[in-house]
Amino acid sequence: MTRGLIGKKLGMSHLYSDNGDVIPVTVLEVGPCSVSQVKTPEKDGYMAVQLAFGEIKPSRISKPERIHLEKSGITPKRHLKEFKVEGDAPEIGTTINILDVFKELDDVKVTGISKGKGFQGVVKRHGHHGGPGGHGSRFHRHPGSMGAGSTPSRIFKGVKLPGRTGGEKKSVKKLKILKIIQDQNLLIVAGSIPGNNKSLITIEKV
């Protein structure tokens, strides 16, 4: 069976523990996903399954993608994603639901695209403290020194400078599944995950 599924982030909420503590949680809509392709060691050199998720009009996807899904007996889907396999691989065209892969109290890794912040300075982008805030100070949020002068006459790669912030692929590991609502395809994990509401995520067993 596959080790993960595709879904989307719906938003954050909270639950209460048995002793009354508030636990921040994220609600995810996960699956159902259809198996669109099975990779085998004989043909592809490794074992994996490709899953399809999210309904879409046939006119909104490319012709090669549409033919690929039709050969698998699947209606047009918005997203395709490959996952590792644990044990026997499912057959092409099989529909996989939450409880086929996960159970409550499992530890999972959730991957998404972080919120984009646009072009930002070093204080917001890297957490620099900035300069003094008093009237005599001539800089408050400037980067400051970036390196030596005539030697080496350049800035080394990796120096923390202003630039485009966010919009990157990020993963959060070892989040615990607190609750599964099967009839609504909802999965509730403790803590926060990267991305906007309704953004695409993948969730995998750790």
Q: Where are the alpha helices (DSSP H) in 113-157?
A: 122-126
The C-alpha atoms of residue 81 and residue 61 are separated, in whole angstroms, by: 15
Q: Is it true that domain 4-117+169-205 has CATH number 3.10.28.10?
A: no
- Do residues 80 and 51 touch, judged by C-beta distance below 8 A? yes
pLDDT in tens, 153-166: 899 999 999 999 99
Q: What is the DSSP string of 12-42?
A: EEEEE-TTS-EEEEEEEEE--EEEEEEE-HH
Using the predicted structure, report yes or no on whether residue 29 has a pLDDT greater than 90: yes
- pTM: predicted TM-score of the whole model, two decimal places: 0.83
Using the predicted structure, report yes or no on whether residue 89 has a pLDDT greater than 90: no
Where in the chain are the domains? 4-117+169-205
The C-alpha atoms of residue 24 and residue 13 are separated, in whole angstroms, by: 6
Percent of the chain scoring above 90 in pLDDT: 60
**Residue 24, pLDDT score:** 96
**Residue 72, pLDDT score:** 87
The mean pLDDT value for 29-46 works out to 90
